[in-house]
Amino acid sequence: MKRRKQTREVNYVPPVRHEIRQTRRAGGDFSDRLNAYRDAHVFALFSSLGRLVRSPFSSLMTIAVLTIAIVIAAGFQLLVFNLQQLSGDLEATAQISLYLKDKVSDAEARKLADTISQNPDVSQVMVISKDEALAEFKLHGGFGEAIDALSNNPLPAVITVLPAGHVKNKGKLTQLQQTLQQIESVDVAQMDTLWVERLRAIIAVAEQGLGMVNILLGFAVLFISGNTIRQELHGRRQEVVIAKLVGATDGFIQRPFLYTGFWFGFISGVLAWFVVTIIMLLLWQSVEAVSRLYGGGFHLLFFSVADTFKLIGISAALGVLASWAVLWHQLRFTVPE
Protein backbone atom coordinates (compact mmCIF):
# COMPACT_ATOMS: atom_id res chain seq x y z
CA MET A 1 0.00 0.00 0.00
CA LYS A 2 2.78 2.34 1.02
CA ARG A 3 4.76 1.50 -2.10
CA ARG A 4 1.83 2.21 -4.40
CA LYS A 5 1.34 5.64 -2.89
CA GLN A 6 5.00 6.44 -3.45
CA THR A 7 4.85 5.54 -7.16
CA ARG A 8 1.82 7.72 -7.63
CA GLU A 9 3.62 10.64 -6.11
CA VAL A 10 6.70 10.21 -8.24
CA ASN A 11 5.03 9.49 -11.57
CA TYR A 12 1.95 11.60 -11.07
CA VAL A 13 0.94 13.35 -14.28
CA PRO A 14 -2.11 15.61 -14.10
CA PRO A 15 -4.86 14.23 -16.36
CA VAL A 16 -5.18 16.08 -19.63
CA ARG A 17 -8.84 16.46 -20.53
CA HIS A 18 -8.11 17.22 -24.17
CA GLU A 19 -6.20 14.01 -24.63
CA ILE A 20 -9.32 12.06 -23.83
CA ARG A 21 -11.41 14.09 -26.22
CA GLN A 22 -9.14 13.44 -29.12
CA THR A 23 -10.85 10.75 -31.17
CA ARG A 24 -8.91 10.23 -34.35
CA ARG A 25 -5.85 11.15 -36.30
CA ALA A 26 -7.52 13.90 -38.28
CA GLY A 27 -8.14 15.71 -35.02
CA GLY A 28 -11.06 15.95 -32.69
CA ASP A 29 -14.81 15.75 -33.19
CA PHE A 30 -17.09 17.98 -35.23
CA SER A 31 -17.29 20.81 -32.70
CA ASP A 32 -13.49 20.78 -32.36
CA ARG A 33 -13.17 21.15 -36.11
CA LEU A 34 -15.77 23.90 -36.16
CA ASN A 35 -13.88 25.74 -33.45
CA ALA A 36 -10.60 25.28 -35.32
CA TYR A 37 -12.28 26.60 -38.47
CA ARG A 38 -13.61 29.62 -36.62
CA ASP A 39 -10.20 30.21 -35.01
CA ALA A 40 -8.58 30.08 -38.44
CA HIS A 41 -10.98 32.79 -39.66
CA VAL A 42 -10.46 35.00 -36.63
CA PHE A 43 -6.71 34.54 -36.96
CA ALA A 44 -6.81 35.41 -40.68
CA LEU A 45 -8.94 38.48 -39.95
CA PHE A 46 -6.49 39.92 -37.47
CA SER A 47 -3.25 38.69 -39.02
CA SER A 48 -4.21 40.37 -42.32
CA LEU A 49 -4.88 43.60 -40.42
CA GLY A 50 -1.49 43.17 -38.75
CA ARG A 51 0.13 42.81 -42.14
CA LEU A 52 -1.43 46.08 -43.33
CA VAL A 53 -0.10 47.82 -40.22
CA ARG A 54 3.38 46.34 -40.70
CA SER A 55 3.69 47.83 -44.21
CA PRO A 56 2.05 51.19 -43.51
CA PHE A 57 3.35 53.07 -46.54
CA SER A 58 2.03 50.80 -49.29
CA SER A 59 -1.19 50.16 -47.37
CA LEU A 60 -1.77 53.88 -46.94
CA MET A 61 -1.18 54.55 -50.63
CA THR A 62 -3.74 51.96 -51.66
CA ILE A 63 -6.24 53.05 -49.04
CA ALA A 64 -5.80 56.71 -50.07
CA VAL A 65 -6.53 55.97 -53.73
CA LEU A 66 -9.50 53.79 -52.81
CA THR A 67 -10.79 56.47 -50.44
CA ILE A 68 -10.61 59.13 -53.15
CA ALA A 69 -12.55 56.95 -55.58
CA ILE A 70 -15.21 56.18 -52.97
CA VAL A 71 -15.39 59.86 -51.88
CA ILE A 72 -16.10 60.93 -55.46
CA ALA A 73 -18.81 58.30 -55.86
CA ALA A 74 -20.39 58.92 -52.44
CA GLY A 75 -20.08 62.71 -52.72
CA PHE A 76 -21.80 62.71 -56.08
CA GLN A 77 -24.53 60.50 -54.67
CA LEU A 78 -25.09 62.88 -51.78
CA LEU A 79 -25.18 65.84 -54.16
CA VAL A 80 -27.95 64.20 -56.15
CA PHE A 81 -29.86 63.39 -52.94
CA ASN A 82 -29.67 67.05 -52.00
CA LEU A 83 -30.77 68.24 -55.44
CA GLN A 84 -33.75 65.89 -55.29
CA GLN A 85 -34.71 67.34 -51.95
CA LEU A 86 -34.25 70.85 -53.37
CA SER A 87 -36.59 70.21 -56.29
CA GLY A 88 -39.24 68.85 -53.90
CA ASP A 89 -38.94 71.96 -51.75
CA LEU A 90 -39.13 74.32 -54.68
CA GLU A 91 -42.32 72.82 -55.95
CA ALA A 92 -43.94 73.63 -52.63
CA THR A 93 -42.78 77.23 -52.87
CA ALA A 94 -43.90 77.62 -56.48
CA GLN A 95 -45.86 80.82 -56.87
CA ILE A 96 -48.77 81.84 -59.08
CA SER A 97 -48.69 85.26 -60.71
CA LEU A 98 -52.07 86.83 -61.50
CA TYR A 99 -51.77 89.40 -64.29
CA LEU A 100 -54.83 91.63 -63.88
CA LYS A 101 -56.79 93.15 -66.70
CA ASP A 102 -55.70 96.62 -67.73
CA LYS A 103 -58.86 98.35 -66.53
CA VAL A 104 -58.45 97.13 -62.96
CA SER A 105 -57.27 99.92 -60.68
CA ASP A 106 -54.71 99.55 -57.91
CA ALA A 107 -57.42 99.92 -55.26
CA GLU A 108 -59.49 97.16 -56.85
CA ALA A 109 -56.36 95.03 -57.07
CA ARG A 110 -55.77 95.41 -53.31
CA LYS A 111 -59.38 94.50 -52.60
CA LEU A 112 -59.09 91.42 -54.81
CA ALA A 113 -55.90 90.45 -53.02
CA ASP A 114 -57.71 90.57 -49.69
CA THR A 115 -60.42 88.29 -51.06
CA ILE A 116 -57.87 85.82 -52.42
CA SER A 117 -56.00 85.69 -49.14
CA GLN A 118 -59.20 84.34 -47.50
CA ASN A 119 -58.76 81.15 -49.58
CA PRO A 120 -57.36 78.38 -47.30
CA ASP A 121 -55.09 77.16 -50.09
CA VAL A 122 -53.27 80.48 -50.16
CA SER A 123 -50.63 81.39 -47.64
CA GLN A 124 -49.47 84.80 -48.79
CA VAL A 125 -50.58 87.42 -51.27
CA MET A 126 -48.52 90.31 -52.57
CA VAL A 127 -49.75 93.15 -54.79
CA ILE A 128 -47.47 94.82 -57.32
CA SER A 129 -49.25 97.95 -58.54
CA LYS A 130 -48.89 99.25 -62.09
CA ASP A 131 -46.44 101.93 -60.93
CA GLU A 132 -44.38 99.53 -58.88
CA ALA A 133 -44.23 97.14 -61.80
CA LEU A 134 -43.04 99.94 -64.05
CA ALA A 135 -40.39 101.07 -61.58
CA GLU A 136 -39.12 97.51 -61.21
CA PHE A 137 -39.13 97.01 -64.94
CA LYS A 138 -37.14 100.19 -65.42
CA LEU A 139 -34.63 99.14 -62.80
CA HIS A 140 -34.06 95.51 -63.86
CA GLY A 141 -35.36 95.26 -67.39
CA GLY A 142 -32.84 97.58 -68.98
CA PHE A 143 -35.53 99.28 -71.03
CA GLY A 144 -35.49 102.49 -68.97
CA GLU A 145 -35.30 104.96 -71.84
CA ALA A 146 -37.67 103.06 -74.09
CA ILE A 147 -40.30 103.02 -71.35
CA ASP A 148 -39.82 106.70 -70.67
CA ALA A 149 -40.79 107.29 -74.29
CA LEU A 150 -44.20 105.68 -73.74
CA SER A 151 -47.08 107.99 -72.90
CA ASN A 152 -48.94 105.63 -70.59
CA ASN A 153 -48.00 102.65 -68.43
CA PRO A 154 -48.47 99.41 -70.45
CA LEU A 155 -47.81 97.09 -67.54
CA PRO A 156 -50.68 95.41 -65.69
CA ALA A 157 -50.96 95.17 -61.94
CA VAL A 158 -49.85 91.80 -60.62
CA ILE A 159 -50.93 89.77 -57.60
CA THR A 160 -48.37 87.20 -56.52
CA VAL A 161 -49.98 84.25 -54.76
CA LEU A 162 -47.93 81.86 -52.61
CA PRO A 163 -49.82 78.59 -52.14
CA ALA A 164 -50.27 77.26 -48.59
CA GLY A 165 -47.93 74.56 -47.23
CA HIS A 166 -50.38 71.72 -47.80
CA VAL A 167 -50.71 72.52 -51.53
CA LYS A 168 -47.68 70.59 -52.59
CA ASN A 169 -48.28 68.42 -55.59
CA LYS A 170 -48.71 69.57 -59.11
CA GLY A 171 -52.41 68.58 -59.36
CA LYS A 172 -53.46 70.73 -56.41
CA LEU A 173 -51.39 73.63 -57.69
CA THR A 174 -53.04 73.43 -61.09
CA GLN A 175 -56.46 73.31 -59.41
CA LEU A 176 -55.61 76.45 -57.47
CA GLN A 177 -54.35 78.13 -60.62
CA GLN A 178 -57.62 77.35 -62.45
CA THR A 179 -59.70 78.69 -59.56
CA LEU A 180 -57.76 81.94 -59.65
CA GLN A 181 -58.01 82.14 -63.45
CA GLN A 182 -61.78 82.16 -63.18
CA ILE A 183 -61.81 85.45 -61.24
CA GLU A 184 -63.21 88.05 -63.57
CA SER A 185 -60.57 90.75 -63.27
CA VAL A 186 -57.71 88.25 -63.74
CA ASP A 187 -56.32 88.23 -67.26
CA VAL A 188 -53.76 85.43 -66.94
CA ALA A 189 -52.89 83.23 -63.97
CA GLN A 190 -49.42 81.92 -64.57
CA MET A 191 -47.74 79.25 -62.54
CA ASP A 192 -43.98 79.69 -62.26
CA THR A 193 -43.07 76.03 -62.24
CA LEU A 194 -41.26 75.86 -65.54
CA TRP A 195 -37.86 76.38 -63.96
CA VAL A 196 -38.63 73.72 -61.35
CA GLU A 197 -39.34 71.32 -64.20
CA ARG A 198 -36.08 72.33 -65.84
CA LEU A 199 -34.24 71.66 -62.60
CA ARG A 200 -35.97 68.29 -62.44
CA ALA A 201 -34.75 67.43 -65.92
CA ILE A 202 -31.21 68.42 -64.95
CA ILE A 203 -31.43 66.24 -61.84
CA ALA A 204 -32.62 63.33 -63.98
CA VAL A 205 -29.52 63.75 -66.15
CA ALA A 206 -27.37 63.94 -63.01
CA GLU A 207 -28.94 60.72 -61.72
CA GLN A 208 -28.14 58.91 -64.93
CA GLY A 209 -24.62 60.28 -64.85
CA LEU A 210 -24.36 59.19 -61.23
CA GLY A 211 -25.16 55.60 -62.18
CA MET A 212 -22.41 55.53 -64.76
CA VAL A 213 -19.86 57.30 -62.58
CA ASN A 214 -20.60 54.87 -59.76
CA ILE A 215 -20.09 51.87 -62.03
CA LEU A 216 -16.80 53.30 -63.30
CA LEU A 217 -15.57 54.10 -59.82
CA GLY A 218 -16.67 50.66 -58.63
CA PHE A 219 -14.44 49.14 -61.29
CA ALA A 220 -11.64 51.50 -60.25
CA VAL A 221 -11.93 50.22 -56.67
CA LEU A 222 -11.93 46.63 -57.94
CA PHE A 223 -8.82 47.11 -60.05
CA ILE A 224 -6.89 49.07 -57.44
CA SER A 225 -7.50 46.60 -54.63
CA GLY A 226 -7.07 43.67 -57.01
CA ASN A 227 -3.68 44.94 -58.09
CA THR A 228 -2.57 45.45 -54.50
CA ILE A 229 -3.64 41.93 -53.58
CA ARG A 230 -1.78 40.59 -56.61
CA GLN A 231 1.38 42.34 -55.46
CA GLU A 232 0.99 41.02 -51.95
CA LEU A 233 0.44 37.51 -53.29
CA HIS A 234 3.62 37.91 -55.30
CA GLY A 235 5.52 39.10 -52.23
CA ARG A 236 4.28 36.14 -50.20
CA ARG A 237 4.82 33.61 -52.95
CA GLN A 238 7.25 31.56 -50.90
CA GLU A 239 4.71 31.27 -48.11
CA VAL A 240 1.97 30.28 -50.56
CA VAL A 241 4.18 27.62 -52.13
CA ILE A 242 5.18 26.16 -48.75
CA ALA A 243 1.56 26.11 -47.61
CA LYS A 244 0.59 24.31 -50.81
CA LEU A 245 3.40 21.78 -50.32
CA VAL A 246 2.18 20.82 -46.86
CA GLY A 247 -1.35 20.31 -48.14
CA ALA A 248 -3.12 23.66 -47.97
CA THR A 249 -6.30 23.94 -50.00
CA ASP A 250 -6.84 26.98 -52.19
CA GLY A 251 -9.45 28.10 -49.67
CA PHE A 252 -6.91 28.11 -46.86
CA ILE A 253 -4.40 30.09 -48.90
CA GLN A 254 -7.04 32.56 -50.06
CA ARG A 255 -8.38 33.31 -46.62
CA PRO A 256 -5.83 35.89 -45.38
CA PHE A 257 -5.82 37.62 -48.78
CA LEU A 258 -9.61 37.83 -48.83
CA TYR A 259 -9.47 39.42 -45.41
CA THR A 260 -6.81 41.84 -46.64
CA GLY A 261 -9.20 42.85 -49.43
CA PHE A 262 -11.95 43.20 -46.85
CA TRP A 263 -9.82 45.51 -44.72
CA PHE A 264 -8.84 47.64 -47.70
CA GLY A 265 -12.49 48.13 -48.66
CA PHE A 266 -13.72 48.55 -45.10
CA ILE A 267 -11.09 51.09 -44.02
CA SER A 268 -11.46 53.05 -47.27
CA GLY A 269 -15.25 53.07 -46.85
CA VAL A 270 -15.02 54.39 -43.30
CA LEU A 271 -12.45 57.02 -44.29
CA ALA A 272 -14.56 58.06 -47.29
CA TRP A 273 -17.55 58.52 -44.99
CA PHE A 274 -15.51 60.82 -42.76
CA VAL A 275 -14.11 62.80 -45.69
CA VAL A 276 -17.56 63.34 -47.25
CA THR A 277 -19.02 64.29 -43.87
CA ILE A 278 -16.21 66.78 -43.22
CA ILE A 279 -16.73 68.34 -46.67
CA MET A 280 -20.46 68.59 -45.94
CA LEU A 281 -19.80 70.21 -42.57
CA LEU A 282 -17.56 72.78 -44.27
CA LEU A 283 -20.32 73.56 -46.79
CA TRP A 284 -23.05 73.47 -44.18
CA GLN A 285 -22.75 77.05 -42.89
CA SER A 286 -22.73 78.67 -46.30
CA VAL A 287 -25.58 76.50 -47.62
CA GLU A 288 -27.66 77.36 -44.56
CA ALA A 289 -26.96 81.06 -45.21
CA VAL A 290 -28.15 80.74 -48.81
CA SER A 291 -31.15 78.71 -47.65
CA ARG A 292 -32.13 81.48 -45.19
CA LEU A 293 -32.12 83.98 -48.04
CA TYR A 294 -34.59 81.76 -49.89
CA GLY A 295 -36.90 81.35 -46.93
CA GLY A 296 -35.00 78.63 -45.06
CA GLY A 297 -36.86 75.62 -46.46
CA PHE A 298 -33.70 73.79 -47.50
CA HIS A 299 -31.36 71.94 -45.17
CA LEU A 300 -28.28 70.02 -46.23
CA LEU A 301 -28.77 66.24 -46.14
CA PHE A 302 -26.05 64.09 -44.56
CA PHE A 303 -25.67 60.31 -44.83
CA SER A 304 -28.33 58.46 -42.89
CA VAL A 305 -27.34 55.46 -40.76
CA ALA A 306 -28.61 53.10 -43.48
CA ASP A 307 -26.63 54.96 -46.15
CA THR A 308 -23.52 54.78 -43.99
CA PHE A 309 -23.84 51.01 -43.59
CA LYS A 310 -24.53 50.67 -47.30
CA LEU A 311 -21.46 52.73 -48.19
CA ILE A 312 -19.10 50.80 -45.93
CA GLY A 313 -20.69 47.46 -46.83
CA ILE A 314 -20.37 48.02 -50.56
CA SER A 315 -16.75 49.17 -50.19
CA ALA A 316 -15.84 46.11 -48.14
CA ALA A 317 -17.66 43.80 -50.56
CA LEU A 318 -15.81 45.30 -53.51
CA GLY A 319 -12.49 44.72 -51.71
CA VAL A 320 -13.33 41.06 -51.07
CA LEU A 321 -14.63 40.57 -54.61
CA ALA A 322 -11.45 42.06 -56.10
CA SER A 323 -9.13 39.85 -54.08
CA TRP A 324 -11.26 36.79 -54.76
CA ALA A 325 -11.08 37.39 -58.52
CA VAL A 326 -7.29 37.88 -58.42
CA LEU A 327 -6.72 34.82 -56.22
CA TRP A 328 -8.96 32.62 -58.30
CA HIS A 329 -6.86 33.45 -61.31
CA GLN A 330 -3.43 33.45 -59.65
CA LEU A 331 -3.65 30.36 -57.45
CA ARG A 332 -4.31 28.15 -60.44
CA PHE A 333 -0.99 29.25 -61.88
CA THR A 334 1.04 29.11 -58.68
CA VAL A 335 2.38 25.58 -58.78
CA PRO A 336 4.71 24.58 -55.96
CA GLU A 337 8.28 24.00 -57.00
Considering only 3, 13, 25, 86, the residue that binds other proteins (CB under 8 A) is 25
| The one among 9, 148, 184, 337 contacting other proteins by CB under 8 A | 337
- CB-CB contact of 38 with 236 (8 Å): no
Angle at the Cα of 90 from the Cα atoms of 210 and 81, rounded to 5 degrees = 25
Torsion of CA 128, 134, 140, 143, to 10 degrees: 160
Scanning 24-32, 63-71, 109-117, 149-157 for contacts with other proteins by CB under 8 A, the matching segment is 24-32
Nearer of residues 15 and 247 to other proteins, judged by Cβ: 247
Does position 46 interact with other proteins (CB under 8 A)? The reply is: no
What is the pattern of x (binds other proteins, CB under 8 A) and - over residues 208-247?
------------------------------xx-xxxxxxx
> What's the rounded Cα separation, in Å, for the pair 26 and 41?
19
Neighbours of 140 (CB within 10 A): 9
Site membership for other proteins, residue 40 (CB under 8 A): yes
Binding mask 243-282 for other proteins (x = CB under 8 A): xxxxxxxxxx------------------------------
Quick count: other Cβ atoms within 10 Å of Cβ 181?
Answer: 14
- Quote the least distance from Cβ 290 to other proteins, whole Å: 57
What is the C-alpha separation between 151 and 138, in angstroms, rounded?
15
**Residue of the chain from 4, 8, 18, 140 that contacts other proteins (CB under 8 A):** 18
Q: Which stretch binds other proteins (CB under 8 A): 35-43, 155-163, 164-172, 299-307?
A: 35-43
Instruction: Decide: 76 and 213 in contact? Cβ < 8 Å.
Output: yes
Tell me the Cα Rg of the chain: 36
From 257, 259, 261, 275, select the one nearest 311 (Cα to Cα).
Answer: 275
The contact set with other proteins (CB under 8 A) reads 18-19, 22, 24-28, 30, 32-33, 35-37, 39-40, 238-239, 241-252, 335-337
